Amino acid sequence: MSERKYFGTDGIRGLVGQYPITPDFVMKLGYAAGKVLAGQGTKKVLIGKDTRISGYMLESALEAGFSAAGIDVGLLGPMPTPGIAYLTKTFRAEAGVVISASHNPFYDNGIKFFSNSGEKLPDDVEQAIEAQLDKPMGCVDSAKLGKATRINDAAGRYIEFCKSNFPSQSSLKELTIVVDCAHGATYHIAPNVFRELGATVIEIGTAPNGTNINDGCGATSMDAISKAVVEHNADLGIALDGDGDRIMMVDHTGYVIDGDEIIYIIACNDLTSGRKDGGVVGTLMSNMGLELAFEALDIEFARSKVGDRHVMELLREKGWQLGAENSGHVINLNHTSTGDGIIAALNVLTAVTKQKKSLHALRQGITMLPQLLVNVRFSGENNPLKDADVLAAVAEVNEILTGRGRVLLRKSGTEPLIRVMVEGPDLDEVTLLANKIADVVKCVK
């Protein structure tokens, strides 16, 4: 695959007001995408967004670009990323566009696309859009301009879809649940899903103002929901990120349950139901404890590169249905075409109600190994991952941890960082070894 100029691993993302997240570029992106999609017979796309203040500006720019290319636009308003993927399919639109920077702060934003199957756009289509972006922007004849309509029942449609993924004979009426929506795209959806299924819902992070998305709340900042669950004597907590495709949970003690433990609970419940859809895909960052737990259950486990796109690719390759990142991207192809935080929560709640066990009890079969991640910023010309001293330090630590743990070094996909991860049975040892490697990485110029 050729080098990308604009698209990263998850669309186009950056600081609002700085290239490429500017009104003029985004309008041209809408036009370029429209021209490419029109060539495939597309006449309609859907656009949804999260709650960032910049969403208004970028939505208008995209709408203008698509219209200039002769593409009709359906405006969904604030909607979770997986909700946009779902509605793209149900409206028979040829593409869905998401305006979001997911778990990032409000001053970042991004654009990503879904195909008509509710999955990420194929690489060849993204490459065609990039090629079109390098050409001058034009405009179709006035009579052929695209029209825009607002889809007012988008939230209600997605709420009903989510509820349909919970067993019809079950209810959440015995549960008190804290739901943290990160002041993001699920603020008007997630609490209603769980409430309409019978739960007593305590809301936090459901008052977006355009700038408070992901600010000290949601799946990337779990202190608030852990505290709320304990204070309200709730049964559990569900924390989503700004665009609703990531989930973390909290048991009644305030203990944080990440994507590794969530996918373990879902896979185990499938096993007790007599359904075994092949193995489970994790990533290079998945805890070794997850691998050992699946080994004990005779469930196959495979690791992909980090990123939900890579998890999906490996699931398709192996013909499996379940995959997750420990950061909370959980994919269950039995229910959805992409990572969906609300659906993942309902999958876990299905296990809670069916097995009549608490969330705390359901995670007892997995023992997570201490895992430490150290981020090291680099600015030199040399690649630290190929430096001889770094390679020697990694080899030394790997030898120390043989059979007991592992080491992983990787570059961040969005920042000039080397992520040093070490895991093993003893936290003090892991901390010492991770910092030992990080100190060597810092010396690379």
181-240: pLDDT as tens digits: 999 999 999 999 999 999 999 999 999 999 999 999 999 999 999 999 999 999 999 999
CA distance 136 to 344: 43
Pairing of strands 44-49, 72-78: parallel
Q: Is 123 annotated as ligand-binding?
A: no
pTM: 0.92
Name all domains of the chain by residue range, CATH numbers in brackets: 12-152 (3.40.120.10), 158-362 (3.40.120.10), 371-442 (3.30.310.50)
Is pLDDT of 434 > 50? yes
CA distance 421 to 229: 30
Q: What is the mean pLDDT of residues 149-154?
A: 97
- Range with the poorest average pLDDT among 243-247, 272-276, 313-317, 381-385: 272-276
- Maximum CA pair distance of the chain? 71
The residue behind tokens 């007991």 is: 404
Give the count of beta carbons closer than 10 Å to the beta carbon of residue 415: 9
Q: Is 273 annotated as ligand-binding?
A: no
For 86, left (φ over 0), alpha (ψ -120 to 50), or beta?
A: alpha
pLDDT in tens, 335-373: 999 999 999 999 999 999 999 999 999 999 999 999 999
Name the catalytic one among 67, 100, 102, 327: 102
User: Burial level of 23, CB count in 10 A (0-12/13-18/19+)?
Assistant: middle
The residue behind tokens 């909607």 is: 79
Q: Assign 356 to helix, strand or coil.
A: coil
Q: Is 241 annotated as ligand-binding?
A: yes
Q: Is 221 annotated as ligand-binding?
A: no
The question of whether 102 is a catalytic residue gets the answer yes
- Degrees (nearest 5) of the Cα angle 106, 108, 110? 120
Q: Mind giving me the DSSP string for 104-165?
A: S-TTEEEEEEEETTSSBPPHHHHHHHHHHHTSPP----GGGPPPEEE-TTHHHHHHHHHHHT
